[in-house]
Amino acid sequence: MISLRSLLAYAVMLVSIPALWLLLVRFSHLPAVVLPPPDKVGAALWRDAPLLWDNTRVTVFEALLGYAWANALALALALMYLYFPISEAFLTPWMVVIKNVPFVTVASILLITLGDTLTPKIIVVVLVSFFPILANLVKGLGAADPVLLDRLKVLNASRWQLFAKVRWPAALPYYLAAHEIAFTGSIIGAIVAEWFFSRQGLGYLIVNATVEYRTDRLYAVTLIASLLAIAAYLLCKATEFWLFRWKTRPPA
């Protein structure tokens, strides 16, 4: 639940960032090419709006597509683990290996193998966001109340009914907790993938701005990427608040 205190904390942070930025610009005496003032970044945002918008759309599309794949795969695997427990024993070593191979090297291999196409970017996003979703889904589906399961088994509930009415509601808090990490991670994953191999997207703009010493654009992209990640996080929190509104609802 979002309390008044946490809203105030966010408001203080939003005011503090430009204030601290201005103070840093004023007292650090760093040149504008290293630390551009907020007004210069604002001008870059305004001037490059069409370019930034087009590339933001590309990044968001890749992040959402990769994220959808990560969710579908994690859900499929979690269900397989639940209903065919032997599969977990056999697949866990694979998961451990895939999770622990540095994805920077995987990204390089994908670049050589698949080139600048959509697939390697989606794979990177999936690699970043898949594991937290899988881990939380497995834990959540296993956290279903055994007493409640027995009560419904006595009523001869079908496997689907047990899933829909007991297992899934029990897994939901874990699933949403995973989104807080993984949804934000998918945007970061898409930017990193573009940073490696792309001619479009926010990651590409970062590389481009760095090479051309366009720090105003670099800061503008940072601002947009941060806002996207924060928006993803807040969307997760809002969904959680809406789904669990019964927890704070006063007695009828």
> Which residues in this chain contact another protein in the complex, by CB under 8 A?
145, 147-148, 150-157, 161, 165-166, 169, 244, 246-247, 249, 251-252
- Decide if 190 contacts 184 (C-beta within 8 A): no
Beta carbon of residue 162, minimum distance to another protein (angstroms, whole number): 9
- Judged by beta carbon, residue 64 or residue 149, the one nearer another protein is 149
- Amino acid (1-letter code) at residue 40: K
Helix axes 49-83, 215-243, angle to 10 degrees: 40
